Structures are given as structure tokens and as C-alpha cells.
């Protein structure tokens, strides 16, 4: 018997993960329209932008403006921040949900945040305590939870140890990522089953990149493990600039289509989602390649 929930929460990450990896800067006004249309499609949670160094990721250089102008009072407005400077920038907005990020792999962290895993966690410890003290919703993004572009296979036990550290620090959610799209459904099922058993009171989210076109299979395997929260990106955009091989996130429209067809409610309207993609598409450096988008735009 399949283990399927009645309802799944989709966390739309297109405006952040999707656009951070675009070759050129998508104009701020287009980003605002894109986010506005995405809200209309019915998402309850969205990563809007990230307060990282604009020298490192120029595509997110307009974070301050996006995080002020694109908020939805009825939804969870998530912004990323890697360090003290990022958090102080978050405090100048009304965003109440912060995503921090550290990978399991030391080599990946050196490339992505210019620090080792230990140094990254040490820097975050007082920040996490402060955020919880101020009643922020805190999401911890665990990169390279399965494979690292520099170190290869990551031991499940190492991923679990890092997740445990974040749980001990009081985070509300773990978003566990297959950064370079290399996990198999068997690996996803194994890790997420263990996390679900270990951390039954924490929101657990799966974040799959679709480099090898295994993301939908990984989502299906994670559903079997009891996961009912998934990050995905409209149009399948995305990737981490510091993780070679990290192509786009799984496309939101493909995830919603699959779940809809299985009778699982996501609250996301596919037609409105396509309208949102059409806003940003002319400004992208690559075509939209998701199965649902291609069929929909050929047929309708
Ligand atoms: P650093 O160069 O070591 O930092 O970078 P620094 O403290 O030496 O500062 C260097 C300069 O950056 C200074 O400016 C700082 O003020 C400035 P200068 O004095 O030279 O003019 N700076 C900042 N400016 C704005 N906001 C900030 C900030 N911090 C420093 N927050 C740092 C360290 C962490 C800043 C850098 O490595 C960085 O920004 N990294 C972010 C990389 C990134 O955004 N990666 C993608 C997001 S993670 C991801 O995609 C994975 C995920 O999707 C899950 C998955 O799929 O795996 C979540
Ligand atoms: Mg990602």
C-alpha cells in the first residue's frame, strides 16, 4: 500500500535558488512581478531572496528592495542570510522567517561561504540563539546532504549529525538538500526515514536539484518516508553558483502536476503558476524545460 499524504506543502524557491544562478541579473521590477504572480498561484511559503554578499552573488544584490516590496502578510516570507551582516540586513525588513545554510561537506562550505563547516556553525550559533529569542521562524538548509561536488558521497551519519546540531540550536525546520542532484530514491528514502524517526517534532523538507532527472522519483520516495514538504522552483530554474553540476531545482509545475494527479492537495494553481513563469521567462538565459511547461505551452 502506498504511503501518501492528503496534503503537501510546496516551498517555492524560484526567486532565490532559481534566480541566483542565472547568468545575468534579472531586473528587480521583473522579480517583483514574478513574485507577485507566484503569490497569486497560492504558495504559503516562499524564499524571496538572500542577504548574501553581492560581490559573491550579484544576482541577489537587490535583496533589500525585494524583501521590503514583495512580502505577503498571509504567508511565510523566507529570506536567506549566511552571517551576522546578513542577519542585520534582515532586521531592517519585516521578514519573520530566516533561512541559514551550511553544507555537510567541508570543501563545499569553503567554496560557498569561505569557511569550514565548524567555523560556519560557530558563527551561526549565537545568531540562531538570537533569532529564536526574537521569535523568528528559522529554517536550516543542509547542503550536500547526499553528495558533494568536491568530496563525493557523504555519509548518512555525517548529515544526521549536522541536522542534530541544528535541532539542538532550536531551528524550526530542516531543508535537506541534494545539492548536485545525485541522490537515488533508495538513498532519499533511507535518509528521510531516519530523519523522520529522529526528529518527529521538526518540520522536515526535501530540496532536490534535478541534474540527473531523478528529482520526481526522489520526491516519491520521500513521500513514502513520510515527508510532506518539498522545495521546488518555478520553471525548474536554480542551482548553486559554487556547486558545479548543480543544475535547476525540480520544477514546481512538474511536482504540482504529479501530486494533483495523485489526488494530493498542494493549494497551488497550475495555470497561475505558468502565468508567473511567463513573466520571468523572457529575462532568463536558458529555456524552460520542465515537462509540464512544454506540454502546456504547446497544447494551449
Ligand atoms: P567573505 O568574503 O569571506 O566575507 O564571504 P567577509 O566577511 O570577508 O566580507 C567580504 C565583503 O562582503 C565585505 O565587503 C563585507 O561587508 C561583504 P567589503 O568590505 O569588501 O566591501 N559582506 C556582505 N555584504 C552583504 N551581505 C552580507 C555580507 N557578508 C559579507 N551578508 C560570505 C563570506 C558568506 C559573505 C560569502 O561567501 C557569501 O556571500 N556566500 C554566499 C554564497 C551563496 O549565496 N550561495 C548560494 C546560497 S546556498 C544554496 O544555494 C544551497 C541551497 O539551495 C541548498 C542546496 O541546494 O544545497 C540553500
Ligand atoms: Mg538549492
Asked whether 98 lines ligand 1 (CB < 6 A), one says no
* Residue 243 is assigned to a structural domain of this protein: yes
Structure confidence at residue 37 (pLDDT): 98
Nearest ligand 1 atom to alpha carbon 83? 31
Distance CA 209, CA 245 (A): 10
pLDDT band at 244 (very low <50, low <70, confident <90, very high): confident
Please report, for the domain that includes residue 144, its CATH number: 3.20.20.70
**Distant-in-sequence, close-in-space partners of 102: CB < 8 Å, separation ≥ 6:** 109, 113, 117, 120, 121, 124, 140, 141, 142, 143, 162
* Grid cell locating 25: 541579473
For residue 299, pLDDT beyond 80:
no
C-alpha of residue 85 to centroid of ligand 1, in Å? 9
* Residue 2 is assigned to a structural domain of this protein: no
* Residue 4 is assigned to a structural domain of this protein: no
Domain span at residue 255?
A: 9-299
pLDDT tens readout for residues 132-158: 999 999 999 999 999 999 999 999 999
For residue 59, pLDDT beyond 70:
yes
Counting the structural domains of the chain, the total is 1
Structure confidence at residue 241 (pLDDT): 87
Mutational pocket test of ligand 1: of 20, 52, 159, the residue with most ligand atoms within 8 Å of the beta carbon: 52
Asked whether 82 lines ligand 1 (CB < 6 A), one says yes
Instruction: Starting from the CA of residue 233, give the closest ligand.
Output: 2
Question: Mind telling me the catalytic residues?
Answer: 240
Q: What's the whole-number mean pLDDT along residues 174-180?
A: 98
For residue 117, pLDDT beyond 70:
yes
* Residue 1 is assigned to a structural domain of this protein: no
Structure confidence at residue 66 (pLDDT): 98
Distance CA 120, CA 113 (A): 8
Asked whether 177 lines ligand 1 (CB < 6 A), one says yes
* Residue 3 is assigned to a structural domain of this protein: no
Listed in sequence order, the DSSP H helices in the chain are 19-20, 28-40, 63-69, 84-91, 106-113, 117-133, 156-168, 185-198, 215-224, 252-261, 270-280, 291-299
* Residue 41 is assigned to a structural domain of this protein: yes
pLDDT tens readout for residues 16-46: 999 999 999 999 999 999 999 999 999 999 9
**Axis crossing angle, helix 215-224 with helix 185-198, rounded to the nearest 10:** 40
- Percent of the chain scoring above 70 in pLDDT: 99
Write down the mean pLDDT value for the chain. Answer: 96
Q: Which residue has the cell 514574478?
A: 34
Distance CA 206, CA 285 (A): 27
Mutational pocket test of ligand 1: of 52, 53, 83, 147, the residue with most ligand atoms within 8 Å of the beta carbon: 53
Q: What's the whole-number mean pLDDT along residues 273-289?
A: 96
C-alpha of residue 28 to centroid of ligand 1, in Å? 20
Structure confidence at residue 164 (pLDDT): 98
C-alpha of residue 83 to centroid of ligand 1, in Å? 8
Percent helix, strand, coil in the chain, to 5, is 45, 20, 35
* Residue 209 is assigned to a structural domain of this protein: yes
* Residue 56 is assigned to a structural domain of this protein: yes
Structure confidence at residue 277 (pLDDT): 98
For residue 298, pLDDT beyond 80:
no
- What are the CB-based long-range contacts (under 8 Å, 24+) for 166-171? 166/128, 166/140, 166/142, 167/199, 167/202, 169/124, 169/125, 169/128, 169/129, 169/132, 170/128, 170/129, 170/132, 170/138, 171/100, 171/128, 171/138, 171/139, 171/140, 171/202
Q: What are phi and psi of 122, to 5 degrees?
A: -65, -40
C-alpha of residue 300 to centroid of ligand 2, in Å? 31
Say if pTM beats, i.e. exceeds, 0.75: yes
Secondary structure (3-state) at 171: coil
Asked whether 210 lines ligand 1 (CB < 6 A), one says no
pLDDT band at 297 (very low <50, low <70, confident <90, very high): confident
For residue 245, pLDDT beyond 90:
no
Asked whether 145 lines ligand 1 (CB < 6 A), one says no
Q: What's the whole-number mean pLDDT along residues 94-123?
A: 98
Q: What's the whole-number mean pLDDT along residues 115-131?
A: 98
Asked whether 19 lines ligand 1 (CB < 6 A), one says no
Ion ligand 2 residue ranges (Cβ < 5 Å): 17
Q: What's the whole-number mean pLDDT along residues 87-116?
A: 98
Amino acid at each position: 500500500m502506498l504511503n501518501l499524504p492528503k496534503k503537501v506543502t510546496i516551498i517555492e524557491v524560484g526567486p532565490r535558488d532559481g534566480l541566483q544562478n542565472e547568468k545575468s541579473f534579472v531586473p528587480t521590477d521583473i522579480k517583483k512581478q514574478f513574485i507577485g504572480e507566484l503569490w497569486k498561484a497560492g504558495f504559503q511559503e516562499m524564499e524571496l531572496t538572500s542577504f548574501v554578499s553581492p560581490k559573491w552573488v550579484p544576482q541577489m544584490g537587490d535583496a533589500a528592495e525585494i524583501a521590503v516590496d514583495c512580502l505577503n502578510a498571509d504567508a511565510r516570507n523566507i529570506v536567506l542570510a549566511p552571517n551576522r551582516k546578513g542577519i542585520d540586513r534582515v532586521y531592517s525588513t519585516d521578514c519573520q522567517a530566516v533561512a541559514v545554510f551550511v553544507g555537510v561537506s567541508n570543501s563545499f562550505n569553503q567554496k560557498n561561504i569561505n569557511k569550514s563547516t565548524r567555523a560556519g556553525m560557530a558563527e551561526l550559533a549565537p545568531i540562531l540563539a538570537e533569532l529564536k529569542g526574537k521569535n523568528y521562524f528559522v529554517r536550516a538548509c543542509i547542503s550536500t546532504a547526499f553528495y558533494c561536488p568536491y568530496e563525493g558521497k557523504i555519509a548518512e551519519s555525517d548529515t544526521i549529525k549536522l541536522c542534530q546540531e541544528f535541532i539542538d540550536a532550536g531551528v524550526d525546520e530542516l531543508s535537506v538538500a541534494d545539492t548536485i542532484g545525485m541522490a537515488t530514491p533508495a538513498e532519499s528514502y533511507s535518509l528521510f526515514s531516519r530523519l523522520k524517526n529522529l526528529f518527529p517534532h521538526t518540520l522536515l523538507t526535501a530540496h532536490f536539484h534535478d541534474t540527473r532527472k531523478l528529482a520526481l522519483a526522489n520526491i516519491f520516495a520521500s513521500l513514502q518516508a513520510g515527508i510532506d514538504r518539498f522545495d521546488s522552483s518555478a520553471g525548474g530554474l536554480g542551482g548553486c553558483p559554487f556547486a558545479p553540476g548543480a543544475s535547476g531545482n525540480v520544477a514546481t509545475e512538474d511536482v504540482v502536476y504529479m501530486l494533483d494527479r495523485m489526488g494530493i492537495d498542494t493549494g497551488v494553481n497550475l495555470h497561475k503558476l505558468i502565468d508567473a513563469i511567463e513573466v520571468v521567462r523572457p529575462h532568463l538565459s536558458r529555456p524552460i524545460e520542465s515537462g509540464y511547461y512544454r506540454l502546456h505551452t504547446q497544447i494551449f
